[in-house]
Amino acid sequence: MPASAEPPPLSATAATAAAEPYGRVALRAALWLAFLAPFFYSTYGFANWLASTRNQVGSIVFSWEHHVPFLAWTIVPYWSINLFYALSLLLNDSKQRVNRLAGRYLTAQVVAVSCFILFPLTATFVRPATTGLPGFMFAVLGGFDKPFNQAPSLHIALLVIIWDHWRQRLSGPLLTLWHFWCFLIGASVLTTWQHHFIDIPTGALLGVFALWLFPATGELPFAGFRLTADGKARRLSLCYALGAALALAAAAIGAFFSALALVLFWPSLALAIVAFGYAGAGPKVFQKTADGRLSPASRVLLWPYRLGARTNVWAWTRKLPPVVAVTDGVFLGRFPDAAEAHGFGTVIDLAAELERPGDAPGRWISFPMLDLLPPPADTLDEAVAAIEPARLQGTVLVCCALGFQRSATVVARWLVASGRSHTPAQARKQLAASGRPVHLQLGLDEPA
């Protein structure tokens, strides 16, 4: 796992840039642009044409949208995204970063156009006549754009991607200016009467999904995917996939009664990602780093799942002490909040799905593991090996979500490996004597 969920700023990547000639980077960017531009116009145009052949194309419009003013000048920020689209590819420091950004662009375009084809919506507002530069820009836009490509807004999806790209490379007043300009671009989809409101959150969700699918650094979520042979993992994957399908069906059916039902697309996508993790992708779908942080995309995209996970933690542990002492300064417990973490020199965290509290002090070491499954042998060994060095620097909390299984398995292994328990059975008894429910995973039946 990388130490950071986000790419370092440009100043920190000078060595990388020096090692990779910019000419090769620019060539890769130019090749991607040569593919993406015609791909966009051809697929976007096809979706427009296909929608125009339908007898009726629906729309989703809230009543308050009729009060949104038409501001002709906002076509300028609206159009500016095209410039940043190209610049973001060209101003990179490695071919890998170009590839990842292009992957984000391609993901957004493929998903958005697929939605335009399968579920077209139309913009219902008729823009007033405009003159001058705005009039010219609206005329050019109307030459290839039709009112059918609405939700999810590809404009907003690309804005999320491009905003994230530059916010990591700017600082000070330039960063503030960038945030302001991106706000204008986002607002312009309404003030140019180009989109309806429903297009914005759906487009933003698509943009965040593209960020998650192609993180700037670290492993790709789908890299090395192999369908798991573990029966329990398959059953869990099926359960999460079923939950995703039910949420998706509820969103689709509920939309006939209220557009607010479309919010269920969010938990549906979150559950689908978790199902993908259990199906074989593993804990990397949560994009958790070695210091317990999450990538911003994971933080947003999987928020509904994490809300459920934290509710589950509360339900199971509300009547239990948050931590229990094991021996020699090592404690076992649930995932701590900042105040609970404050009492320990080191937190060894095994919960792939939960994020370190933002203000948690001290050392935090994360070994992400999926819940309810036996941990991979190498990750288990690394977690066990980390306890003793950490113990020499102060008290240690070994935690997972509930403190019943993943953390208990690691502590039991450590007890045997360090000679504090002579057998796995003795380690199991020692943990059970703490009064905390423990469910040890596979691997404790043999001596460490």
- Partners of 396 in beta bridges: 330, 346
Bridging pattern class, strands 323-327 and 330-333: antiparallel
115 in active site:
no
DSSP label of 98: H
Selected catalytic residue, list 115, 182, 399, 400: 400
CA distances to 165, 178, 182, 423 from 170, in Å: 9, 8, 13, 56
Q: How many beta carbons lie within 10 A of that of residue 402, not counting itself?
A: 24
Burial class (CB in 10 A: 0-12, 13-18, 19+), 128: exposed
Residues 6 or more apart whose CB falls under 8 angstroms from that of 231 comprise none
CA distance 163 to 108: 14
CA distance 265 to 271: 10
Residues 6 or more apart whose CB falls under 8 angstroms from that of 374 comprise 441, 442, 443
CA distance 185 to 163: 10
Helix (H) or strand (E) holding 430: helix 424-432
CA distance 218 to 446: 34
46: amino acid identity, one letter: F
DSSP label of 54: S
Query: Residues with catalytic annotation?
Result: 400
